[in-house]
């Protein structure tokens, strides 16, 4: 991704880190390379994107930080994160569940485990005669098979 559509962003990020005395060097060119480094936890920084599988805190916490299942779990996971993740996943009371995920957010912010740099936006411009258009949470964001043109 940072070699393609967001290459300019990555270049500016690298430049900003360089001005602070840090060097960023890409160690992967393919997704299999990235996964290998992620599994080995042999990098100091991961510049990546994450698209939620479903609109819930669990897709981020478990999918990114959980020690065994999270894509960055080997780098950033901890017993405390794993415990809170499991409690959040199994809690049925929405207020208690929310409080658990707030604890996780506080821990992430306190330890600077993740620093979100931007939230990707998707824009759709649809002519009035297009029917069946709706936006989804996951890719592809448009169910093209549902589109039709009103005549």
Same domain assignment for residues 98 and 65: yes
Q: Are residues 38 and 71 in the same domain?
A: no
Using an 8 Å Cβ cutoff, are 94 and 102 in contact? no
- At 27-39, the pLDDT tens digits run 888 889 888 888 8
Answer yes or no: is pLDDT of 81 > 90: yes
Domain that holds residue 128: 121-151
Question: What pLDDT, in 10s, does the model give residues 62-74?
Answer: 999 999 989 889 8
pLDDT at 43: 87
Q: Which of 30, 22, 43 is nearest to 3 (CA)?
A: 30
Cα Rg of the chain (Å, integer): 19
DSSP element (H, E) containing 130: strand 130-131
Q: What's the pLDDT at 5?
A: 77
Residues 45 and 74 in one domain: no
pLDDT of residue 53: 76
| Encoded tokens for 92 | 């049925």
Q: Is the pLDDT of residue 21 over 90?
A: yes
132 and 148 part of one domain: yes
C-alpha 93/C-alpha 44 separation (Å) is: 37
The two three-digit tokens of residue 4, written as one number: 């393609």
Residues 33 and 59 in one domain: no
Domain match, 94 and 56 both: yes
- As a whole-number percent, the residues of the chain with pLDDT over 70 amount to 97
Q: What is the pLDDT of residue 100?
A: 98
Whether 1 has a pLDDT exceeding 60, the answer reads no
Average pLDDT over residues 57-84: 92
Per-residue pLDDT reduced to its tens digit, 108-146: 999 998 887 777 777 889 999 999 998 876 777 888 999
pTM as predicted = 0.71
Do 108 and 60 reside in the same domain of the chain?
Answer: yes
In this structure, are 64 and 110 located in the same domain? yes
Distance from C-alpha of 115 to C-alpha of 35, rounded to nearest angstrom: 20
Question: Torsion over CA of 105, 110, 114 and 116, rounded to 10 degrees?
Answer: 80
pLDDT of residue 18 exceeding 80: yes
Residue with tokens 């994160």, as numbered in its chain = 81
Residue 149, helix vs strand vs coil: strand
Number of compact structural domains in the chain: 3
Same domain, 103 and 73: yes
80 membership: H or E segment, kind and range = helix 79-90
The answer on 130 and 87 residing in a single domain is no
Tell me if 142 sits within 8 A of 124, measured CB to CB: yes
């Amino acid at each position: 991704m940072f070699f393609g559509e967001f290459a300019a962003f990555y270049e500016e990020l690298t430049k900003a880190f360089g001005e602070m005395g840090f060097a960023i060097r890409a160690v992967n060119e393919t997704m299999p390379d990235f996964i290998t480094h992620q599994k080995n936890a042999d990098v100091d920084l991961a510049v990546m994107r994450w698209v939620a599988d479903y609109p819930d805190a669990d897709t981020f916490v478990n999918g990114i930080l959980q020690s065994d299942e999270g894509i960055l779990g080997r780098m950033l996971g901890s017993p405390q994160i794993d415990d809170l993740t499991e409690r959040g996943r199994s809690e049925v009371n929405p207020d208690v569940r929310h409080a658990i995920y707030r604890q996780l957010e506080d821990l992430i912010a306190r330890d600077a485990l993740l620093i979100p740099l931007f939230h990707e936006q998707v824009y759709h411009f649809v002519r009035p005669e297009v029917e069946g258009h709706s936006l989804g949470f996951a890719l592809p964001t448009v169910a093209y098979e549902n589109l039709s043109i009103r005549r």
